Amino acid sequence: MSDDMNMSMRKFLKQVGVTSQQAIEKAMRESGTDKDYEVKAVITIEELGMTHTVTGTIRGED
């Protein structure tokens, strides 16, 4: 993998992580509840026919 490809991938994934965390925190604050949430993230590259799904749980504040 070339350095340019590696850097562009890391930049994209960092943007996904940072912006997703901000959006999730905002939504959880606005909900006013402290429950746990089932989450799913889907990344697709249509040109490659690739779909990657990650699922998990985000715990509300205790």
CA atoms of 55 and 40, how far apart (whole Å): 4
Asked if residues 58 and 36 have their Cβ atoms less than 8 Å apart, the reply is: yes
CA atoms of 17 and 50, how far apart (whole Å): 19
Task: Give the model confidence (pLDDT) of 3-55 as tens digits.
Answer: 999 999 999 999 999 999 999 999 999 998 889 999 999 999 999 999 999 99
User: In the beta sheet, which residues pair with residue 54?
Assistant: 41
CA atoms of 62 and 52, how far apart (whole Å): 31
Against a cut of 0.75, is the pTM above it? yes
